[in-house]
Amino acid sequence: MSVFFGSDLRKSWTLHIGVIMLLFALQFILPAYHHGNLARIMVLTCYAMGYNILFGYTGLLSLGHALFFASGMYGMSLTVQHLGWSAGPALLAGLVAGFAVALAIGLLALRTAGVAFMIVTLMFAQAGYLAALYFGEYTRGDEGFVIQQSFRQLAGINLADPTNRYFAALILFAICVFVSLRVVQAGFGRVLVAIRENEERTRMLGYDIHRHKLAAVVLSGTMSAAAGAAYGLLFGYAGATFASVQYSIFPLLWVLLGGAGTILGPFVGTLFMFYLIDLSSGLTTAYMLIAGFALVMLTLFAPQGLVGELRRRALRWLP
């Protein structure tokens, strides 16, 4: 059994390293349009991966993850815009902001369970969105503000340059993949899955359910905040739109499409949804109707998501 597990572990790491190497190689052959799209997709995938830790592996359905994404984005962008901080400290500020918000929300929201948890997270996210609008003097509300190119420098590297931006997005993507792999393959991740499958039995086995859930919320929120801070820095814009309800729904759709509880599911789901909307919007103004139809079909014929169905049908070792 241990040999089999070791073999699965090697195959898993080989696959994920191979995906990262493929994305590295694509940098040199993709046309400019798809090159920029893929950089954006990789950053948004990190947001979806953060969501997947909470929903896919722990079984907690949140409708307020835009609050974490926006916390990272505003933690980074406001310190740049109003305090004149450089990119490095600003990114750290975004991470700290996301960590602090996730810890506070976790301590409060985890007093509830089930549908109540979903509603509470939604209400907190809406409060964050309204706060971004109310303090429009600093955030510029829905209009947002552009981060000047002179501030988008990290260790002397110009992140506004498409090549540097792509590699920065790839590095963040690789970090999130490796963190997710380590989490789900460690004892902590297995406890999260046990909580998802049968919380009462996991409690009877002696595990501290609240502590593990809180750690999952904090990890999920911090990873989402890292994506938000990186998105603002790499693409040079921050606005209240990223704190709205639709940005809480997006990671849920991406994870469901790709496969909840899989490492590569968020990437596949984000990639699929991004290009589905991109291509259908070129055909008709009712592009969301096409996207909605595709989502319904996938829900009916691939209920576990694209990667989830692949794992169920063939590659049982996929994490």
What are the backbone dihedrals phi and psi of residue 181, each rounded to the nearest 5 degrees, phi first? -60, -45
Distance of CA 54 to the CA centre of its chain: 10
Under the banding of pLDDT at 50, 70 and 90, the label for residue 195 is very high
Whether residue 142 contacts residue 240, with contact meaning beta carbons closer than 8 Å, is answered with yes
Q: How far is it, in rounded angstroms, from Cα 251 to Cα 253? A: 5
Domain covering 2-313, topology? ABC transporter involved in vitamin B12 uptake, BtuC (1.10.3470)
Q: What percent of the chain stands above pLDDT 70?
A: 98
Asked whether 51 and 220 are in contact (CB, 8 A), the reply is yes
pLDDT at 314 over 90: no
Q: Do 250 and 50 meet the contact criterion of CB atoms below 8 Å apart?
A: no
pLDDT at 142 over 90: no
List, for residues 218-237, the tens digit of each pLDDT value.
999 999 999 999 999 999 99
Compute the average pLDDT of residues 237-253. Answer: 93
Average pLDDT, the chain: 91
Residues 101, 198, 309, 248: what is their CA dihedral angle, to the nearest 10 degrees?
-20
Q: By the 8 A CB rule, do 228 and 94 touch?
A: yes
Q: What is the pTM of this model?
A: 0.94
Average pLDDT value for residue range 18-33: 94
Please tell me the predicted confidence (pLDDT) of residue 167. 96
Model confidence at 33, pLDDT cuts 50, 70, 90, reads very high
| Residue 237 phi, psi dihedral angles, 5° rounding | -150, 145
Mean pLDDT of 133-160: 89
Of 143-152, 171-180, 194-203, which range is least confident?
143-152
- Alpha-carbon distance values, 71 to 12, 182, 186, 250, 282 (Å): 32, 25, 28, 17, 33
| Structure confidence at residue 3 as a pLDDT band (50, 70, 90) | very low
Whether the predicted pLDDT of 268 surpasses 70:
yes
pLDDT per residue as tens digits for the range 71-94:
999 999 999 999 989 999 999 999
DSSP 8-state class, residue 151? G
3-state secondary structure of 238: strand
